[in-house]
Amino acid sequence: MNCLSHVRIVLVGTTHPGNIGATARAMKNMGLRDLALVSPKVFPSGEATARASGADDILAGARLCHHLQEAIGDCALVVGASARLRTISWPQLDPRECAQLVSASNAKTAILFGREHSGLTNEELERCHYLLHIPCNPEFSSLNVAAAVQIVAYELFLAAREQASADFAAPALATAEEMESFYGHLERTLHDLRFLHERKAGPSVMRRLRRIFNRSKLEKKEIHLLRGILTAVQMRIRPQT
């Protein structure tokens, strides 16, 4: 069930050792183990250990780095948490989107959390493939760094759990190609029915039908059932035309 071994949490320039300890606890609570600390002000520290509250193994295993590059050099995906919606237009994720992206891949991934008062620098953010923004009250938007890690780790845990159960139990979903064949079959049937002709609104009707079935995320077997119905309609109306 632990599908999160490829995920590293990177704290950059943390000032308060209590936040490092609270981060370790939040990580272990959610099944994360890989912590890197870039230039923390104080580490190791009794306060970090106290706030880790049993997650000392995460602290003991943390890698201490002088430069960000040491912490992310082996990562194929780098995501940077950012409170501000920066003027630089960078691809953004919220925690749930980030968790889905990360849990769907096995690529070594670093998620960066910046300094308590100033976050990540623009230079650090430019090393990231995505910015991660936690939705919150716009009038009081500065989250504690360990609280931010807690939310992201929680979403990662949920996504990994879902991924694990999907790997075992999920019925096979239709591929994009199978969906296109289905929509083609549906459109021909509606033409045979003269349903599209009559309304002179073929593209719009088909678009609306695609929305309905795309939302439903059809399984392969369901596509067979629906196409069986379409074939039955075609068989019954063709003799007339």
Residues forming contacts to a copy of itself in the complex (CB under 8 A) are 22, 25-26, 28-31, 51, 53-55, 134-137, 140-144, 146-147, 150-151, 154, 157-158, 161, 190, 193-195, 205, 208-209, 211-213, 215-218, 221-222, 225-226, 228-229, 232-233, 236-237, 239-240
End-to-end CA distance of the chain, in Å?
Answer: 57
Nearest to 145 by CA among 56, 237, 13: 13
Min dist CB 201 to a copy of itself, Å, is 10
Whole-Å CA distances, 121 to 17, 70, 126: 20, 17, 9
Min dist CB 14 to a copy of itself, Å, is 15
Give the number of C-alpha atoms closer than 13 A to the C-alpha of residue 87, restricted to the C-beta side. 0
Min dist CB 71 to a copy of itself, Å, is 23
Min dist CB 127 to a copy of itself, Å, is 26
| DSSP state at residue 171 | P
Residue number, 129 or 173, with CB nearest to a copy of itself: 173
Residue number, 129 or 134, with CB nearest to a copy of itself: 134
Residue number, 18 or 72, with CB nearest to a copy of itself: 18
Residue number, 26 or 81, with CB nearest to a copy of itself: 26
Beta bridge partners of 10: 36, 112
Please list, residue by residue across 11-40, b when 16 or more beta carbons sit within 10 angstroms of its beta carbon and e when fewer do: bbbbebbbbbbbbbbbbbebbbbbbbbbbb
167: three-class secondary structure by DSSP: helix
Residue number, 9 or 30, with CB nearest to a copy of itself: 30
Task: Name residue 135's amino acid.
Answer: P
Residue number, 42 or 205, with CB nearest to a copy of itself: 205
